[in-house]
Amino acid sequence: MEEREETRKIQFTGKSSYIVSLPKQWIMELGLKQGDQIRMVRKGSSTLELYPSKFESRIPKKEDAVIEIDEKEEASAIVRKLISLYFLGFKTINVKPKNYRLSPIQRNTVKEAVKRMLMGSEIISDSSGGITVQVLVNLLELSVDGAFKRMIHLAKSMSSDAILAVKENNLDLAQEVINTDDEVDRFGFYIIRQLKIAIQNEHMLKEMGFRNARNCLGYRLIVKNIERTGDHAALIAKDLLEFKKSIKKEVLQKLQEMNEFCLSMLDDSCLALFKEDYTQAEKTIKKTNEIIKFEKKIRDASRLLKDDEEIYRIRRMTENIRRVSEYASDIAEIVLNMNIEKTLKKSA
């Protein structure tokens, strides 16, 4: 997206109006002519924005959507449709039965999905004849950066709590880790929705603080990596619920150290993202290679064990923790791609 700037003087005309001329080239490139209308918007105390009215009709208004549900449609299919429409930016989603009426199971599926997955959404109408979902969230109330930071915090807490649950053989805490995974996904879905809106609307792109649409793609990939971090913490918690016992203290201590290292790498990569720091991202990628030291310590400690079941569980935990380091490296690489232009030599 090309951004150009010109400076023009304000002139006074008549008794009550001020005028500003527009560059002729801009007018020609936009296909405007004398008599066309321009919509003016005052933003706060220091910004004025101009929008050619002739282009507004070309932008599709994504206000309402209607989806019809077959009586035999599975719950997972219904949820996928809801999430897809939420991503596309519709403000109202009407769920209607294709024939006859929605079953109690289908109604509960929609209500649970809205509650657990679609941030800023409420059900404003609910009957066997259909359900209406209203997306009420305001862009200004929760920024993309704000939602992203909250998402990172939750995913990191899940990882730490999952290890603590295993250490204490705490099944309640393990279940709480699994439940928190839904909250991480909610923030992820919300961010993806906002990114799609930003890509389609140049004004919203700037409002959300993105330099260009390419950065939105970078954020989309990063969000997926954070979601996966939460998923692996949930897998560790599910392992405890399945076997209902801890593992040897000596090995667990090394797993905890490895987990703390991986979370520190995740912190460093996300800090590089927020600071737009190419050098920090490069350092983070190199440092993630140190993960092999932690893996070796765990392998050495595991050789002393004789319980095959416990050895199997330790291998799974090691793999789940190691993946967080990989996601941190992936995020740092995305930061490199987003900020590579800053390292280029400026031509004389």
Q: What is the pLDDT of residues 236-290, one digit of tens each?
A: 999 999 999 999 999 999 999 999 999 999 999 999 999 999 999 999 999 999 9
Evaluate whether 162 touches 234 at the Cβ level (below 8 Å). Answer: yes
Summarize the confidence of residues 60-65 as an average pLDDT: 68
Evaluate whether 234 touches 182 at the Cβ level (below 8 Å). Answer: no
- C-alpha dihedral (291, 294, 299, 304), degrees to nearest 10: -170
Task: Please give the pLDDT value at position 237.
Answer: 97
Summarize the confidence of residues 221-242 as an average pLDDT: 96
Task: Please give the pLDDT value at position 313.
Answer: 95
- DSSP class of residue 100 equals S
Q: Which of 159, 164, 194 is nearest to 180 (CA)?
A: 159
| Mean pLDDT taken over the chain | 87
Task: Please give the pLDDT value at position 54.
Answer: 61
* Reported pTM: 0.75
Q: What is the pLDDT of residues 111-167, one digit of tens each?
A: 999 998 898 888 998 888 999 999 876 555 678 888 899 999 999 999 999 999 999
How far is Cα 245 from Cα 241, in angstroms, rounded to an integer? 8
Q: What is the pLDDT of residues 192-221, one digit of tens each?
A: 988 888 887 777 777 777 777 788 889 999
- C-alpha dihedral (216, 222, 223, 225), degrees to nearest 10: 160
Strands 17-19 and 11-13: antiparallel
Task: Please give the pLDDT value at position 295.
Answer: 96
pLDDT tier for residue 63 given thresholds of 50, 70 and 90: confident
Evaluate whether 327 touches 300 at the Cβ level (below 8 Å). Answer: no
- Residue 337 scores a pLDDT above 70: yes
Coil, strand or helix at 298:
helix
Residue 17 burial (10 A CB sphere; 0-12, 13-18, 19+): exposed
- Residue 118: left (phi > 0), alpha (psi -120 to 50), or beta? beta
pLDDT tier for residue 30 given thresholds of 50, 70 and 90: confident
Of 16-20, 64-68, 246-250, 293-297, the one with minimum mean pLDDT is: 16-20
How far is Cα 192 from Cα 61, in angstroms, rounded to an integer? 18
Summarize the confidence of residues 71-83 as an average pLDDT: 92
How far is Cα 192 from Cα 223, in angstroms, rounded to an integer? 8
Phi, psi of 133 (to 5 degrees): -110, 125
SS (H, E, C) 126-187: EECCEEEEEECCCCCCCCHHHHHHHHHHHHHHHHHHHHHHHHHCCHHHHHHHHHHHHHHHHH
Evaluate whether 333 touches 225 at the Cβ level (below 8 Å). Answer: no
Task: Please give the pLDDT value at position 58.
Answer: 44
Coil, strand or helix at 240:
helix
Higher pLDDT, residue 311 or 100: 311
Task: Please give the pLDDT value at position 344.
Answer: 75
Higher pLDDT, residue 262 or 54: 262
CB atoms under 10 Å from CB of 5, counted, come to 4
All structural domains of the chain: 11-56 (no CATH), 64-135 (3.30.110.20), 144-340 (1.20.58.220)
